[in-house]
């Protein structure tokens, strides 16, 4: 974690609702480079064990408004 503090990058905690189970799921999204901030990253859901795509800067699910 000390390396993260030195570089100025840290993981961000997010909370999303699993579309399959309706459960709230907590996850840590890795900090990404500037050009990757407006993209979605795959996340394995702890509630249903499926892959969901989470927006790197907003933490919202793909297709969520």
Per-residue pLDDT, 4: 43
Spell out the domain ranges in the chain: 2-55
Name the region of 59 (left: φ>0; alpha: ψ -120 to 50; beta: rest). left
Q: Name every residue whose Cβ is closer than 8 Å to that of residue 53 and which is 6 or more positions away in sequence.
A: 40, 41, 42, 43, 61, 62
Mean pLDDT, residues 9-31: 88
> How many alpha carbons fall within 13 Å on the CB side of residue 28?
5
In three-state secondary structure terms, 37 is coil
Per-residue pLDDT, 59: 87
Q: What percent of the chain has pLDDT over 70?
A: 85
Binned at pLDDT 50, 70 and 90, residue 34 comes out as confident
Model confidence, pTM: 0.74
């Amino acid at each position: 974690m000390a390396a993260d503090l030195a570089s100025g990058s840290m993981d961000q905690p997010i909370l999303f609702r699993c579309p399959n189970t309706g459960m709230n799921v907590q996850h840590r999204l890795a900090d990404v480079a500037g050009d990757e901030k407006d993209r979605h990253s795959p996340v394995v859901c702890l509630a249903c064990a499926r892959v969901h795509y989470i927006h790197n800067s907003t933490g919202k699910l793909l297709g969520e408004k």
